[in-house]
Amino acid sequence: MSNILTYPGIPIVAGGDMMIISDVSVDGNPTRSVSVNQLGAYIGAGGGSGAGVTSLNTLVGALTLIPGTNITFTTLGNNITINGAATTGTVTSVGLSHGGSAFTVTPSSTPVTTSGTLAITAAGTAAQYINGEGNLTALTSLPFNLTLTTTGTSGLSTLVGNTLNIPNYATGGGGGLVTSLTTVGTSGASTLTAGVLNVPNYADTTNFNVAGDTGVLGSIAKAGTLSLLSSNSLGIRTIISTPTAGSSTVTLSLLASGVAAGNYTNSDITVDSYGRVTAAASGSGAGTIASVSSGVGLISTGNATDPVINIDLVGSDNYIESGTLDNTPVVSDKIPYSDFSQNVKYTTLSGLMAAGLGYTTATLILDPQGTSAPLVTTLNNTIGGTFTITRISEGAYEIANTTNPFSANTSVFISNPNAETPSSGTGTLPQPTTIRRKTTGLLSVSCYREETGTVSGAVSDFGVNDVIVEIKIYS
C-alpha cells in the first residue's frame, strides 16, 4: 500500500470528497471509503445517533460563550447550564404619613408591598384654609384683625403685623397732649404733630380692639369723657363717657334738639336738611286753603275751605275756546267723547273721519325713479301704519303697509298720466296700469306699454310724471 503522505494535497475539501476508512465491524477490517459529509454528520450527532447541529445562529466553526452580568455557566458532561442570578432591592413596602388634618391618605393602614396607588384626598371645605401646621382652620379665624396697644409715651406710632401701637402721648412728651384726631391716608405710621394725632384709615378695620391704660384688652380702666364734635354747629354732638373707673358701661349723650318730648296732636313738624326734627307743635286740625286758581277751561266754585273745580262749558270762554289754538291737527290727535254707556272715552281724528265717512283712506304720491323704486309721499292717512313701495321687476311694484290693514272691503285707484312713444307706428299712447289687493299687507301694481303694429302690452316702468294712488277701506 502506498504511503498516504505521498498523495498530492487539495486546497479545499468538498463534502463529496472521499476518505479511506477501515470498517471494524467486518472481520479482517476491509478497507472502505466515506465522504466528508458522512464523517461530519457522524461527528455532529455525537456518535452517530442522529443528525446533529452543524451551525449555531448561522455561525459555524469554533464558538465561544461569554456570560454577561448576573449570568453563570455550569458544565456537566456535554451539558452547559446557563444560570441567571436574581437581584432585588432593599425596599419591601411603601407607606405615607403626614401631619395635620388637611388631607387623608388611602390605604391608610396597610402600606403598598407589591403594587398599588396612594390616594391623597383633601379633607376640608370651601370655608376653611390650611394653616402652617397643616391643619384645617375656619376662614373666620384668619389673623387679620388689628390689635391696638399703647406702649410708650413718645415717638411714632407703628403698625407691625396686626398690632397698631400708639404711644400714650397724653401722659408725656412727643408733641404734647392730643388735641384733635385726623384720619389722613390709608397706610403708614400714625403721627402726632402739634397736638394733632393722625391715624391713617387702614383698609382692614374689621375688628378694632381698644386696650385700656391698665387691665385686660378691651376694658376701660380709667374714668373719663370722650367727646365727638362736628366741624360745624349743624352736626350731631355725641359724648361718650365712663362714669367710674373700671366700668364696662359706656354712656352716649346727644346734643339737645330743643324739641320738647311728648305726644303731639295734628302735629306741625319741622325737619332740617340733616333729617333732624328741629320743631314740633300740636296743630289746629284741618288745614285752611287760602286760594284756588283755576286752569285753562276750568272754573272754581264754593269757598276757600271747600272749593269745587268744574269744567267751563258755557259762554265764549268755555274749555274749548280757552284751549290752545292749533290749525295743524294730525289724524292721530285725540278727541274726547262719551257714548253714554261708560266713562269718557277718546278717539282720533282718523277714527272720527272713518266713522263719519264709513271708511278710512290714504292718498299717496309716487315719484318714479327709473329702474329704482319710486319715492313715496303720504298726503293723508287715516288707515294708519307706514306705506312703502318696492320695485319687483320692470313694470311690477308692491305697496306695503306695516299694519296689514287691507281686507276684502279695500278699494284702490291709481292714476298714471305718463305717455310712451310706441316702438312702431306714430304718436304716443298712455300706459295702462292695474292695482289689486295681493295680501292683507300688500297691494300689487302692474304697468304696461301699449304698442301699434305687431307688439302690444309690453311691460314698462313708470315714466317721469308722478303717479297718484288712493286707497279706501270700508268698515
Q: Residue 435 — very low, low, confident or very high, per pLDDT cuts 50/70/90?
A: very high
Local structure of residue 178 (DSSP, 8 states): -
Is the predicted pLDDT of residue 80 greater than 60, yes or no? yes
Please tell me which residue, 56 or 281, carries the higher pLDDT value. Answer: 281
Q: How far apart are CA 228 and CA 108, in angstroms?
A: 62
Residues 6+ apart with CB under 8 A from 258: 278, 279
Instruction: Check whether 359 has a pLDDT greater than 50.
Output: yes
Q: What is the mean pLDDT of residues 290-309?
A: 76
Q: What is the pLDDT of residue 142?
A: 63
CA 376 to chain centre: 46
Angle among Cα 337, 339, 340 to the nearest 5 degrees reads 120
**In the predicted structure, residue 399 carries a pLDDT above the cut 90:** yes
pLDDT(402) > 50: yes
Q: What are phi and psi of 94, to 5 degrees?
A: -130, 125
Highest mean pLDDT: which range of 31-40, 205-214, 386-395: 386-395
Q: 366 lies in a domain? A: yes
pLDDT at 262: 80
Inside any domain, residue 276: no
Classify residue 459: in a domain, yes or no: yes
Residues in the chain: 475
Residues 6+ apart with CB under 8 A from 419: 428, 429, 430, 431, 463
305 or 241: which leads in pLDDT: 305
Helices (H), 297-390: 349-357
For 95, 101, 102, 106, 138, the CA distances from 133, given in Å and listed in that order, are: 21, 9, 9, 21, 14
What is the per-residue pLDDT for 310? 83
- Structural domain including 35 reads 4-44
Q: What is the pLDDT at residue 35?
A: 85
In a domain, 316, yes or no: no
pLDDT at 453 over 70: no
The answer to the question of residue 300 being in a domain is no
Q: Which helix (H) or strand (E) holds 281?
A: strand 277-282
Max CA separation in the chain (angstroms): 180
pLDDT, tens only, 197-238: 888 877 654 444 444 445 454 444 445 555 544 444 444 455
**pLDDT digits 0-9 by tens, 114-172:** 777 777 777 778 777 777 777 888 766 666 566 778 888 777 788 777 777 888 765 54
Task: Assess whether pLDDT exceeds 90 at residue 20.
Answer: no
Q: CA-to-CA distance for 111 and 91, rounded, in angstroms? A: 12
Residues with Cβ within 8 Å of 444's Cβ and at least 6 positions away in sequence, in order, are: 396, 397, 398, 435, 436, 437, 438
- Residue 29 has which C-alpha cell? 477490517
- Domain count of the chain? 3
pLDDT of residue 365: 96
Closest CA to 458 of 434, 425, 423: 423
Q: Strand locations in 329-409, DSSP E?
A: 334-337, 345-348, 359-369, 372-381, 387-393, 396-401
20-57 core/surface letters (b: 16 or more CB in 10 A; e: else): eeeeeeeeeeeeeeeeeebeebeeeeeeeeeeeeeeee
- What does pLDDT average to over the chain? 75
In eight-state DSSP terms, residue 170 is: G
Q: How confident is the model at residue 172, as a pLDDT?
A: 44
Cell numbers that stand for 404 in this block: 296689514
pLDDT at 37: 81
pLDDT, greater one: 15 or 4: 15
The CA distance from 392 to 444, in Å, is: 10
Band the pLDDT of 346: cuts 50, 70, 90. confident
* Residue 427 in domain: yes
> What is the pLDDT, as a whole number, of residue 358?
84
Task: Please indicate, yes or no, if residue 49 is contained in any of the structural domains.
Answer: no
- In this predicted structure, what is the pLDDT of residue 367? 95
Residue 399 covered by a domain: yes
Query: Which of 243, 272, 299 is the last residue before a domain boundary?
Result: 243
Give the rounded percent of residues in the chain with a pLDDT score beyond 90: 15
Q: For residue 212, give the nearest of 177, 168, 251 by alpha carbon.
A: 168
- Mean pLDDT value of segment 81-107: 72
Q: Evaluate if residue 391 carries a pLDDT over 70.
A: yes
Q: By the 8 A CB rule, do 202 and 194 touch?
A: no
Higher pLDDT, 263 or 23: 263
